[in-house]
Structure formats: structure tokens, C-alpha cells
Structure 1
């Protein structure tokens, strides 16, 4: 973990208390050009609604939410692990919404969040992780440095916040093997 921030998991109850600072991170990233499902101008109420939905999903056990905080308590980044999949994919999870404030980038925050979310996945017996990112983004280099494997790219898959078409690159990472139920014939 970087000396600039500490990473920790939030409970569903805590997310409610962190909706405002999480909205600040999301808005900062979208205003900085991050293609993370939102268009400009991003209304604060939309960012808050997003985090309120995430809190409900967390309460149902469908996801895990990590935050990176400066030691003064300011939230500077976040990442989610989506864990709810069909019964034939109990070993899989998706890494989602890796967000780091622009003023906290290049300080190891994203690498710390990624390492922490991978550890949470291992602890949850997840052995296959999947994520996607905007093609050509700095995030691609981060994932490659962390041992993620590029699967492929879909051109013109989404829009940047400014409304330009952009590609999406998919990655996966295999973690330690999961214990397979003896009843399954694999």
C-alpha cells in the first residue's frame, strides 16, 4: 500500500455515511474524462444515486466496496468487487468502478486498491477476476503491470463523458485455485 493512502473495506452501513465523498470522487473522475458509465455534465444527484444503489447491493451481499483514504480522512479512491453471479460461476468476480481522484493519481493509490481488491477476492474464494476499461487509458498499463491478461477490445463500445465513441478493453486475472465441490463432475 502507498504511504499516501490507506485502503479499507466499507460495510453497507458505512457506505451510507460515505455517499457524499464517494460522489465527489466519481464526479472528479468523470469531469477528468473517465469513461465510467456517466456523461457530462454529471449531476451530483446522479452520483449520489449511484452510490446509494451500490450501498443497497452491498447490503444484499452482491458486492464489496473498498476505499482509499488519505490519513487525514479524505477519500481519494474506490473500487468494487461484484460477487453475485449464477450458480455455475461461484469462483468468478468482476472488478468495477476503479476510481482515483485526479489530485491523488501517480501516488500508488490505484495499485493499492487493485492489490487490496484482489486479496478480498482470494479471501472470498474467487479465482477468476474480470474487468474492463477504456481502450488507451492509463488504467490499461496499471492492469498489465499487475499481471492482468488482456482478453480483447471492442471498438466503439461506449462513449467518453464528452460524447466521443471509445473502445473498451477487457482483462482477466486468475488467482489461486478455488476448491471445487466434489459433487461436480469437472
Structure 2
């Protein structure tokens, strides 16, 4: 398995594979990214979603990695680098996806480790994320050192259009406060 960081320039090459990965995640209730619609519409929405990331990726505000096995994209993860002046110590974990046929092979673990290492190189000592409350993703993040912060009611719309609570998690990558933290792009 190879973990590859995608750039704004290389994203178009992987957009179709990422869209297929997202559709698999929606189909298997691993994400609530898109509401029920025709399969082709979901696929087009997923492609548009990944295309919309290019500007943030070009400005190094969003980082994206994929996991590849035998030339097939089997997983992905994103890191949103906080741009606020008071948020130079934090980043948000987004869209950890592993294809349903490749679950429990260590792909998610490798993706989250890669993301955490890169977050540290960006001097981000605090990571946070949200998942659907009650999902298996909660166990994954707890097993990787993330702490449950709380639940927000009606946080995300499920694929069927109904609101579902979100669980908020965080992880400190370093325990001491950062001194003179500067963004290194």
C-alpha cells in the first residue's frame, strides 16, 4: 500500500476514483456526504465536491492523501489547516474514507498516522473532527487516541435527508503550548 499526498495539480487525475470511494462510503453508511438521489447524480455531486477542493489545496489550506493498492484508490483523508490568526495551533480532520471491501486492513490507521505527522510539521498541536454519533468511526478514533468532547444534535443530514447528531473528537499532538507558532507553507 502506498500513501500519496494529492496536490491541486494532481487532483483531476484522481477525482473519479475519489468520487467512487465517496459513493461507496455513502452506500455503506460511513459518511452522510450526499442525500439520496439517482446514482449518477451522486457520482456527479461527489466529483464536484472533490473538484471544489482545488483552490484550498493550491493555497495549502487543505491537504489530501490517498491510499493506493495495486493502482486502485482504496482510501483517503483530508486535513483542513485553520487559517484564523487565533487558530494557528489547530487543524480539522475531514473525510477519512476506506473502501468497504478494504476495511480492517490498516488503511485508516496509516492514513491517520500520515495526517498527524504532517499536521505536526505544520506546527498544529490540536486536531479535531466530527463523525456521526453512534457510528463505528467513533471506535476507530478512540482507538487512535482521540477524546470524545460531546455531541451536537441535528448536526449532519444523513443520506435520507434526516438530521443526525454529530460526535466531536479531539487529539493533542503535543502537550506543551506552542511558542511563537508560525505557519510554514
TM-score clears 0.5 = yes
Q: Unpaired runs of 5+ in structure 1?
A: none
- Structure 2 segments unaligned to the other structure (5+ residues): none
Instruction: Kindly report which structure 2 residues correspond to 1:1-186, keeping only aligned pairs within 5 A, or say none.
Output: 5-41=1-37, 43-70=42-69, 72-176=70-174, 177=176, 179-181=178-180
Cα deviation 1:93-149 (Å, max 9, x = unaligned): 000011111111111111111111111101111001010000111110010000101
Distance change in 2, residues 1:154/1:179 (3 Å): closer
**Separation in structure 1 between the aligned mates of residue 173 and residue 42 of structure 2, nearest angstrom:** 38
Contact 2:82-2:92 within 8 A present in 1 as well: no
SS at match of 1:43: helix
Return the offset for 1:15. 1.0
3-state SS of 2:71 partner: coil
- Rounded to whole Å, the distance in 1 between the matches of 2:32 and 2:98 is 12
Shift, 1:158, TM fit: 2.0
> Which runs of structure 1 show a deviation greater than 6 angstroms over 4 or more consecutive aligned residues?
none
Which secondary structure state, in structure 2, belongs to the residue aligned with residue 33 of structure 1?
coil
The Cα shift of 1:35 comes to: 3.1
| Residue 85 (structure 1) shift | 2.3
The whole-number CA distance in structure 2 between the counterparts of 1:179 and 1:153 is 28
What is the root-mean-square deviation of aligned Cα atoms in Å? 1.6
Residue 11 of structure 1, CA deviation = 1.8
**TM-score, structure 2 normalization:** 0.89
Aligned length: 177
C-alpha distance after superposition, 1:53-105 (max 9, x if no partner)? 112210122111011111x1100110000003211111110000111111111
Does structure 2 conserve the Cα–Cα contact (< 8 Å) formed by 1:134 and 1:167?
yes
User: What is the alpha-carbon distance in structure 2 between the residues aligned to residue 35 and residue 20 of structure 1?
Assistant: 18
Provide TM-score, normalisation by structure 1.
0.89
